[in-house]
Structure 1
């Protein structure tokens, strides 16, 4: 019997410095993952943390990690050729089939772009399956911008707004993501979905802004980056009210997610 709690070593293939605080690690992996899922990454005797998949390809997955504690500091000390322990993938995923044939709006803030990047790349690579994609990507300032090359790529095919909270810079607008939601032409869409990922406060107010623009609750999807210590519903760290985020999420429709913000 396989032990679902037992991590396995995987070789790091490549490390990319995104910002001063965020690195992307490409790790050898032969399994399948769905858009929005996460893995538990660990270093023996140091710790373990849930990290969303930010990229995937044949024989590899990528994780974009922010240095915030002892474990991530340890991971930042690793390089190509080193081993990173991981288990997964866990959680549900964005309902891609439900998005196809419709318009899609993706609103992300900061590292919230990481969990939706594979979804964005899917529709970039298959433009025929989605009517249109509108992307609002918000960052604190120019030093916090992630995935610069892919942002430029998305601008070539998607209706893209890259925005900085208070700073002005070429190629970027200024203001929180909520300031740019009223410009989305929801009334012109025949059918659509909205994906919102970022810090809880950002998701809360972005969802309210969408509701104010007339977006029905059932058309909004969010992803919770909440602490999931075991990922299999045993420890209870990710429990909100009666909901285990690791088992029922991390992707939720807003009809349920509206009661999970804390």
Structure 2
């Protein structure tokens, strides 16, 4: 039977969590396999569609953290609990938890880059026995831009969490500075058994990866997400193509050995 991959399905909004004035998490009804780092296309007739990374996974639902930045997302924010949105997916390869089990894991996220790795952090913070250690460095522009505050407080119980802001006032919850400033402070019992995930704005990802290499983490032990290049989800529109790679299909998650070559 031939199916049309562009046809979406209807999904009911189960709940909405407001983080900032322009960033909400929508809990969407969904049954099926999905993993952190994958994404869905969320669409509204006459407005278009937008690729949104999965920020949470649970029984009968997925969570999508959405920033209000354009025509489609503006209209999404006009929908409320009990309403429905159109979705298709999930797309992409996501993060494979087996790549990090038994390792000293470092996750560095900038801004909304915390969304696609939230599921990875949640899993290992809840199952700390499956990693040697878990360190999370999350950076935001100001204290008012911080996402997932309740999750961060919970993660601190089983993980080393460094919450930092570029500017504003430091307090017991967060520090001042770029995420890269904290990399030289990291210590490991076995550097060859470390793993790192980096997601955020391109400049932040570039210098964070260089910082991880400077402290001798092997490049094959680093993973990144090129989520900002996600487009149609099935590699047909060509907007995500870099050389011979389609980010929507081959990514958005890449090992750094491949990801470092994806310069557009």
Q: Distance in 1 between matches of 2:30 and 2:244?
A: 33
Superposed, which structure 2 residues align to 1:33-182 within 5 Å? 33-170=34-171, 171-182=173-184
Gapped runs of 5+ residues in structure 2? none
Which of 239, 247, 250 pairs up with 1:248? Answer: 250
Q: Distance in 2 between matches of 1:190 and 1:228?
A: 32
Deviation at 1:124, TM superposition (A): 1.6
Residues 136-158 of structure 1 show CA distances to partners (whole Å, capped at 9, x for unaligned) of 00000011000000011111110
Q: Distance in 1 between matches of 2:122 and 2:109?
A: 15
* Count of residue correspondences: 262
Superposed, which structure 2 residues align to 1:19-38 within 5 Å? 19-38=20-39
Gapped runs of 5+ residues in structure 1? none
Q: Distance in 2 between matches of 1:4 and 1:71?
A: 20
Question: Which portions of structure 1, spanning 4 or more consecutive aligned residues, are displaced by more than 6 angstroms?
Answer: none
- Is the partner of 1:226 in helix, strand or coil? helix
The 8 Å contact of residues 226 and 252 in structure 2, kept in 1 or not, is answered as yes
The 8 Å contact of residues 12 and 82 in structure 1, kept in 2 or not, is answered as yes
Superposed, which structure 2 residues align to 1:200-219 within 5 Å? 200-219=202-221
Which of 209, 221, 246 pairs up with 2:223? Answer: 221
Residues 181-227 of structure 1 show CA distances to partners (whole Å, capped at 9, x for unaligned) of 11111464451100000111110110011111112110110001224
> TM-score under structure 1 normalisation?
0.97
Q: Distance in 1 between matches of 2:102 and 2:129?
A: 8
> TM-score under structure 2 normalisation?
0.96
Deviation at 1:14, TM superposition (A): 0.7
Deviation at 1:230, TM superposition (A): 1.7
